[in-house]
Amino acid sequence: MRLPNGDLSTCHPLNNSVTGSASSSSEDDGGSLEETYSPVTLVDNEGLLVPPLNFAMVDYGVFRSGFPDTANFAFLQTLGLRSIIYLCPEAYPEANVEFLNANGIRLFQFAIEGSKEPPMVNIPEETIREALKAVLDEKNHPLLIHCKRGKHRTGSLVGCLRKLQKWCLTSIFDEYQRYAAEKARVSDLRFMELFDISGFKQPPASCSHSKN
């Protein structure tokens, strides 16, 4: 994983994201959509490739999004995924499991409860630590991190990764805000600020997109 140079006081521009789509929600990760923006679509010889909600590249071999559905499967195949990091407690849908099996993709599930009441949200630190270990393991790359909307749970995990990459808090919070928008949670920001990275090894300088 490529690391920006500098220490915790260094801010990094958020210019490496390839955003597929964005939305604002009337509730949290599980809420109904107030406003939906047309997703960016790519065209191949067979038709349109539609990325999942809030899709973006986090780093080389690491992507993030909301929950993929069947319309997104063709797009996901272009990423050559080895793994999916799933951050919700609900069982994975049968259609998605069949897609993973057909494409040799391993599922890592880390059950983090969603909540419509931000003051009541308690992010399980040990669960985030285990998920981060899976993200850092190059054997799992390329991988996709997702929850339901790709906002709070995914944003918190990515924020902890950024802290390990020595991003300053301003840049970490700005990236989180881009996806959470007006539904940003102070509890998430506080969790990322206090997250202890001392037990983690520094990520490798780069990682591959390919399964080969």
Residue 97 lies in a domain: yes
| pLDDT given at position 128 | 95
pLDDT over threshold 70, residue 181: yes
Which residue numbers are catalytic?
A: 147
Whichever domain contains 128, its CATH number is 3.90.190.10
Average pLDDT for 152-173: 95
| pLDDT given at position 123 | 82
Residue 65 lies in a domain: yes
Residue 50 lies in a domain: no
Scored b (16 or more CB within 10 A) or e, 10-31 reads eebeeeeeebbbbbbbeebbeb
pLDDT over threshold 70, residue 186: yes
Look at the chain and report how many structural domains it folds into. 1
Residue 43 lies in a domain: no
pLDDT over threshold 80, residue 30: no
Per residue in 43-62, pLDDT (tens digit) is: 555 678 999 999 999 999 99
Could you list the residue range(s) of the whole structural domain that residue 97 is in? 56-194
Residue 114 lies in a domain: yes
Predicted TM-score (pTM) of this structure: 0.75
Q: CB–CB of 23/37 below 8 Å?
A: yes
What is the band of 116 on the pLDDT scale with cuts at 50, 70, 90?
Answer: low
Task: Report d(CA 160, CA 28) in Å as an integer.
Answer: 20
What residues contact 91, with CB distance under 8 A and at least 6 apart? none
pLDDT over threshold 70, residue 212: no
Residue 88 lies in a domain: yes
Structure tokens, 136: 């850092």
Of 2 and 63, more confident: 63
